[in-house]
Structure 1
Amino acid sequence: MNISVADCLVCLQGQTTLFKAEEAFFQLIFTKATELFGLALEKLDKQLYQKTKEKHAPGRVHSLGRDSRTITFCFGTVVFKRRHIEMPDGSRVYLLDEALAFQARRQFSPLLMAKIADLVADSTMRQVAKAVTSLTNCSVTAPAVDNIMRGIGQDLTLVRTQEAKEEEEAEPGERKSVKELYIEGDAFMVRGRCARGKRNHRQRNLPFMRTVHRFQIYEAVEKNGTRHTLINRHVVSHLNRVVAIRELEAYLMANYDLSQTTVFTGSDNGSGYEPEVFADIAAGALREIHVLDRYHLNRKITARLSGFPQEIRELVRKAAHTGDKDSLDKALDTCQSLAAADETRAADRTEDVRLLRDYFARNWASIEPLADPTIYRQTRSLGCCESNHRRYTYRLKHQGRAWSKAGLEAMLRIIDAEQNADFFASLQETELLGTTFMPEVAETAEKDINLQALGLFKALPTKHVGVRHGGIGRNTSTSSALGQLNKQLNMGSSY
């Protein structure tokens, strides 16, 4: 089963081009790897069966036959047989499947599924299927990629649910105490697709909008030139706002001691994101300051005063950002007078001014902190939640036309895990990757199963190439600047 130099030589001499030679060697490696791994699995199954028989009385463990199973790994598709065992208590199990945590009806290995899901977060199902099929010895279709994405999403959901439950029930341990903490929340819309049978045949394929709720926590903003980086950011997104808040609060409870922390919160104060909601999230903090998002404030002013002169809009905006209530009232009174003087659209413009006045009255407590000079740096740090939507909206809107509820929830879990930099760590906590198998089996010395011969479990030695020398090619025009430099260097080397 070893790959020798003679096998490599056959790949080189038996082909007409290097392209074909590399392709032949590529297939040789994967063929040998799948055959070898299949034999190792069958050998391990035999050893597990023998050890199980030794633990019980003679004749109490029966083999019901050997069933075939096919699993696709990163290095190829492996076909192997394992024993179906009847235990003394009457239960029937596959010892190999239990030892290696092979889940039923899953045709792909945990590592391959994790890597495919990692790619799906940035590319469409069809593009990922093409990439995996082209670069590996695995053949994957776009529907299979979609199923893998949903399976990984379900595994991540189990982890997040269990983590939230454990963090709520656990005793307060060693938690981080920071001077300042920032919490933001916002929502965006994604086109949805109804499941089959949920609507009638005429409405089944009609799109509708689903609301995605997002929250993020970070400790500070680090500025590097024109780029801003959020320190220790943690994001939570879900289609259910209550679930998202529950996971957010569990994360806060498990990682932060807020007794000496000033929490700055920000949102657009829309439905579900009112100041009271963030006050409940930051319960127990030394101080909580809620700030209305600048982007939404400016957009509201521009939308309501779109038909008014630019000077009036700037007066209203300046009064709002400086917290000058008197100047704001005067500017809105001027707008109201201008609206009444408009003979064509007096009613509409007057209504816009009234709605804007009500908006300021309703959110003034969240607007005043924008003018506080003592917390100017902190309030300027808020507002990045809207821009952070881009990582989600590009994949969910531009690269996805419509999403079912299950598919959207799975994709949100995957993107969240990538944003939090704990994608593979979270998968290792699931049943998918979490079972640690160390079967106590006998050492094998058979010559046909020699994993070390292929170098699969040891690093290949690297060869030092020494100092690299460079030079300017002679095919450069002598009249060019590079040609003149080459001429001078050659002249200098002759001395």
Structure 2
Amino acid sequence: MEVIQESSIREQFKSNNNTWFQNFINEYDNKMEATMKNKGYRCIHSMERTVIFTFGEFTFRRKRWKKGSKWVVPVDTMLGLEKNTRYSLEFMYQVACLSTLMSYDMVVKAIDLVYQVSITKPSVVKAVKMCGELINEKNNYRYFNEYKPKESIDILYIEGDGVMVKARENGSDNKNFDLSHFVLHTGSYEEYKNRYKLDNKKEFISMKNSSAREQLIDYIYNTYQITTKTILVTNSDGGHGYTPYIFKELAKDLNVKYHEHFWDEYHVNKLVKEYYKEMPITLLEKVFKALKKHSKSELEMVLDTTESILTSEVEEEKFSIFKRKLLNNFQYLKPAKFRGLKPQGIGIMESQHRKVTYRMKKRGMYWSKRGASTMSQMIVLSYEGKLHDLFFGPWRKEYEPYKEITNFSAADIFNYSSDERNYQLPKLALNATYRYKK
């Protein structure tokens, strides 16, 4: 018995679908005829158009109507097709989704394999650029959005760190740029055994550290009601742009009275292990024991012992830097349990980075600065389950009248864009006294 190739069946389905789709278009055109005439429109002609949908590539004819100088194509409106575009919005959304998971070249191959339609790498770039435009529009939209009551909050967690990616601008050579990444949440709960999920997680990522921080403060200011009892818990590796001072200033901006900052445990452990990797294991164990107990005297004792076995000036200089870093930041090494806090929800930054680093680093990848900024935000939106809303959410229809009326964006009004804002956010308590709890 001869085995029928599945591809031949698929081609037959495709042929049948072409006929069905054109009939579907004709029925809709005929249905709209009376409505269009009642509105004073006159059918001028029918024209062909080729569009790639998620269900295939179709060439179809549809009627074009005119009243005065205004043209209307009911079928295009019904299908959500914009003028002079070859791809449906749903198709572009799916291309954008795939681009957050794989390289642009791999997206082209995946589309060809799954949909049996051919697109090019520039088509993927177009989908990403569309996302960038929509992200800017949605940022502008919030200025026109209705006011929502703020939620009173007892505790806020904020963590920040940078992701180094290769990027270039204005035709220059590739350089390393730091994507600034902040994560905000209100706590965590045990989703299943030993697996915790963050409550009300919100991520902010930008090519500029100051921009990411401004977005973070802006979001908190408009979302949460900070009270005298609100606790702010911050965590970072202490690198440039993420020092304790940065988070102290952030606490001041938010008018938080009770602030606890942590030096990220993962980076501390990495630092200590790296330094003691060629030294007696007993010294490493004693350092960790002192850190666990948060005993500065015990830590100093171990450091003195370490210093006594050094044999060169180079080793002494290296040790001096290591010792100074530990002792100067010792207050931020105090474990959560000694501060009356639960450890869950603290030190989550590395796991939050993973989705960005997996897509945007290694494999010889490099980006334009704008492309890196857009892709990082797309990845965050995709993992938050909000990328679909970016394309199809009700906000787009609500924002449309403002675009038509003003003919310019809210960014022009407020001198604001997602990556470049030169205004200073209003301080919540300019003259308030600030007490930082160590």
Call closer, same or farther: CA 1:261–1:38 in 2, change over 3 Å.
farther
Tell me how many residue pairs correspond in the alignment.
Answer: 396
CA contact (8 A) 1:190 1:402 kept: yes
CA shift for structure 1 position 365: 3.5
Deviation digits for residues 418-451 of structure 1 (CA, Å, limit 9, x no counterpart): 2212221232238989899xxxxxxxxxxxxxxx
Relative distance call for 1:81 and 1:284 in structure 2 (3 A) is farther
Q: Specify the SS of the correspondent of 1:381.
A: coil
Q: Percent identity?
A: 22
Letter in structure 1 aligned against 2:342: R
Q: CA 1:18/1:191 → structure 2, altered by over 3 Å: closer, same or farther? A: same
CA distance in structure 2 between the partners assigned to 1:108 and 1:390 by the alignment:
31
Partner Cα distance (1:360, 1:135) in 2: 54
What is the deviation of 1:186? Answer: 0.9
Question: In the alignment, which residue of structure 1 is the partner of 2:51?
Answer: 71
**Structure whose CA Rg is larger:** 1
Q: What is the alpha-carbon distance in structure 2 between the residues aligned to residue 50 and residue 69 of structure 1?
A: 23
Matched with 1:175 is: 150
| Cα gap change, 1:338 to 1:137, in 2 (>3 Å) | closer
Deviation, 1:294, is 0.7
Which amino acid is 1:78 matched to?
Answer: F
**2:366 aligned with 1:370, yes or no?**
no
2:171 pairs, out of 183, 198, 221, with 198
Aligned match of 1:415 in 379, 403, 418?
Answer: 379
**Structure 1 letter corresponding to 2:318:** D
Residues 313 and 179 of structure 1: CA distance in aligned 2, closer, same or farther (over 3 Å): same
> Alpha carbons of 1:243 and 1:70: their partners in 2 closer, same or farther (altered >3 Å)?
farther
Name the structure 2 match of 1:302.
273
Is residue 124–residue 400 contact of structure 1 (8 Å, CA) maintained in 2?
A: no
Question: Helix, strand or coil for the counterpart of 2:198?
Answer: strand
**Residue identity in the other structure for 2:215:** E
The structure-2 alpha-carbon separation of the partners of 1:412 and 1:278, relative to structure 1 and needing over 3 Å to count, comes to: same
1:268 deviation in Å? 0.9
Q: CA deviation at 1:262?
A: 1.8
Q: Sort the Cα spacing of 1:336 and 1:403 in 2 relative to 1 into closer, same or farther, 3 A.
A: same
Structure-1 separation of matches of 2:90 and 2:78 = 17
1:34–1:76: 8 Å Cα contact kept in structure 2?
no
Q: Does 1:402 align with 2:366?
A: yes
Q: Determine whether 1:334 maps to 2:305.
A: yes
Query: 1:189 deviation in Å?
Result: 1.1
- Match for residue 134 of structure 2? 155
| Aligned partner of residue 349 in structure 2, secondary structure | helix
Give the match for residue 105 of structure 2.
Answer: 126
Task: Please list, as runs of the form range in 1=range in 2, the aligned pairs for 1:238-317 lying within 5 A after superposition.
Answer: 238-259=206-227, 260-282=229-251, 283-285=254-256, 287-317=258-288
Per the alignment, residue 352 of structure 2 pairs with 388
Q: Return the alpha-carbon distance in structure 2 between the equivalents of residues 130 and 433 of structure 1.
A: 33
Counterpart in the other structure of 1:26: 10
Query: What is aligned with 2:81?
Result: 102
Asked if the contact 1:110/1:433 (under 8 Å) is kept, the reply is no
SS of aligned partner of 1:19: coil
- Name whichever of 62-71 and 292-301 sits farther off: 62-71
Letter in 2 for 1:230: L
Once residues 183 and 142 of structure 2 are traced to their aligned partners in structure 1, the CA distance between those partners, rounded to angstroms, is 16
1:214 lines up with 2:199 in the alignment: no
1:6 maps to which residue?
Answer: none
CA distance, structure 2, for counterparts of residue 63 and residue 381 of structure 1: 62
The alignment's TM-score, normalised by the length of structure 2, stands at 0.77
After superposing the two structures, state which structure 1 stretch, 300-309 or 232-241, moved more: 300-309
Tell me the amino acid that sits aligned with residue 347 of structure 1.
Answer: E
Over 3 Å counting, the alpha-carbon distance change for 1:400 and 1:68 in structure 2 is farther
RMSD: 3.5
Take 1:307 and 1:351, find their aligned partners in 2: how far apart are those partners?
16
In structure 1, what is the Cα distance between the partners aligned to 2:79 and 2:398?
Answer: 10
**Post-superposition CA distance 1:246-271 (Å, at most 9, x none):** 33233323433332432211111211
1:37 aligns with 2:8: no
Q: TM-score, normalised by structure 1?
A: 0.69
Q: Which runs of 5+ in 2 are unaligned?
A: 401-438
Cα distance 1:54–1:280, how it changes in 2: closer, same or farther (>3 A)? Answer: farther
Deviations 1:260-301 (A, max 9, x none): 432211111211112233344451445221111011122223
